Homo-oligomer: A and B are copies of this chain.
């Protein structure tokens, strides 16, 4: 950027003895320009090493061709899957992506929102951090007419467009499956219940127990931070309780892996003594022993859908106002860790 002169449309125009307007039009493939002049222009542009100046263009058009991606953290399989999906779609559509992650901090999330706002993204795809309870920092986008799509961790009870899975159903199915396997005291290890995803899964868990006439024991519900340590600690806590538990629905595969490992180290057999269901279907799920029953959470798909929906809205192909909630399929994948009854490999 510093050395050497950049070729501009003026250089091309004067070389070809035509006007910059024509060059500008030709470069955008405007049908109003004749094939002949277009050809000349393209060839010379290529030859001279011309590259469009996106700043000049954005300055003029007031469009940035940039999409902001706000995520609670960047170091999980799920987060990366979503990013992968988003990146795929935005790249294909010719948009740049600015990534900002909050490390689960509300303050950082606010700062990121401000930054992306100042960078004038054309649209925003966001997942909330753990402790976000206020949503004023998204208002500036709405005020300016910048579309926002939430995914996974979404702001509930508002007219936002959100892309989610049916977390209630997933929680219900996971718990029901454990009950079907003969579990009567099912623990639930989850995270901040202010976030829709965990709240909904918890609700599914509770309803499944109730629907099967099982008592619920709040001592079996542990809220932690989805770290590996959380899995280890939770296992220890549950093992210390007098009343035994025979199943666990854990809202994250990594936590589940650490949990199972800890159980095994303490002589508890999985699934014989305790059946376990995880969440996400991370790659780790089928590599540990026993392989982990889990809920498939298709991050790539979620990212693709969020990005595609946003871009369609930006381009005016569709309208976000018309749709509020996009629900992506998620399924229970049964592997060894939960099969008390019919044992089998997957």
Contacts and interface: CB of A to CB of B under 8 A. Distances in A.
Interface string A89-131: 0010000111111000000000000000111101000000000
B64 A75 contact: no
Interface string A199-241: 0000000000000000000000000000010000000000000
A287 B145 contact: no
Nearest to A87: B99
B257 A2 contact: no
Q: Quick one: which of A51, A63, A87 has the most chain B CB within 10 A? A: A51
A118 B6 CA distance: 11
Interface residues of A, number: 49
Given A51-B117, A80-B80, A254-B283, A87 B59 contact: no
A263 to B, nearest CB: 12
Interface in A53-110: 53-56, 58-59, 62-64, 74-75, 80-81, 83-84, 87, 91, 96-101
A317 interface: no
B97 A99 contact: yes
A48 interface: no
Nearest to A261: B287
Nearest to A140: B49
Interface string A257-279: 11001001000000000000000
A289 interface: yes
A59 B62 contact: no
A31 interface: no
B100 A98 contact: no
A258 to B, nearest CB: 7
Nearest to A57: B55
A18 interface: no
Q: Quick one: which of A1, A117, A146, A284 has the most chain B CB within 10 A? A: A1
Contacts of A81: 75
A82 to B, nearest CB: 11
Interface in A275-302: 283-284, 287-289
Interface string A1-29: 11110000000000000000000000000
A81 B74 CA distance: 9
B55 A55 contact: yes
Nearest to A79: B80
A47 to B, nearest CB: 15
A136 interface: no
A144 interface: yes
22 contacts: A1-B63, A1-B122, A2-B144, A2-B145, A4-B145, A53-B120, A54-B118, A54-B119, A54-B120, A55-B58, A55-B59, A74-B80, A75-B84, A80-B80, A96-B98, A98-B98, A99-B99, A258-B287, A261-B287, A284-B287, A287-B288, A288-B289
Given A51-B117, A52-B118, A59-B59, 15 more contacts: A1-B62, A1-B63, A1-B64, A1-B145, A2-B62, A4-B143, A55-B58, A55-B59, A75-B81, A87-B101, A96-B98, A228-B287, A254-B283, A261-B287, A287-B288
